[in-house]
Amino acid sequence: MVSALLATPIAASAESIAVSPTNIAVPNSGKQTTVTVKADGRQSSVVQLRVVAWTPGQDPNNVRATRDVVISPPMAKLRPRQELTARVVRTKRKAVRGQECYRVLIDRLPGKEQSGQDVKLRVRHSVPLCFTS
C-alpha cells in the first residue's frame, strides 16, 4: 500500500507572484506608500493583502493584528501577467517617534482551477515596512 501511495503522481502548482519593493521605508513622518504585486504565472491568481505590527530583530512570524496601517485593496484577482498597485496608508493619528514597523503580508491563495490531485499551496510574501520620524 505504501508503494502504491509513493507511485501516485502528485503535481505542485508553480504559479507565482512577484512583489516589489521587498523592503519599505517611509521617512520623515510620511503616511503612505505603495506595493506592487504581479502575477507571473499562466493562470489567474487570487491575492490577499494585510498589514500586521512587527518589531525589528524579532521573528518575522511574531506579528500582531493592527488597525494603525491599512492596505487597499485587501484582496484581488490578477490575470496572468497583470500588475496591481496596492496603497498602504498609516491611519494612526499619533506622530511616529523614532521608528514604527509592520509587515505587509501578501498571500497567493490556492486556485480552484487546479485538478483534484494537485498539491495546493498558499504562498506568502512578508515585506518589512517601517515609518520613521
Question: For the segment 63-110, what is each residue's pLDDT rounded down to a tens digit?
Answer: 999 999 999 999 999 999 999 999 999 999 999 999 999 999 999 998
Answering whether pTM is above 0.85, one says no
Q: Which of 65, 33, 31 is nearest to 50 (CA)?
A: 65
- Compute the chain's Rg from CA coordinates: 18
The residue type of 117 is: Q
The residue type of 22 is: T
- Is there a contact between 19 and 35 (Cβ–Cβ < 8 Å)? yes
For 117, the grid coordinates are 490531485
* Cα 76 from Cα 38, distance rounded (Å): 11
For residue 102, give Cα distances in angstroms to 39, 59, 96, 108. 24, 12, 13, 19
| Domains, in order of start, for the chain | 22-132 (2.60.40.10)
What local confidence, expressed as pLDDT, does residue 115 receive? 58
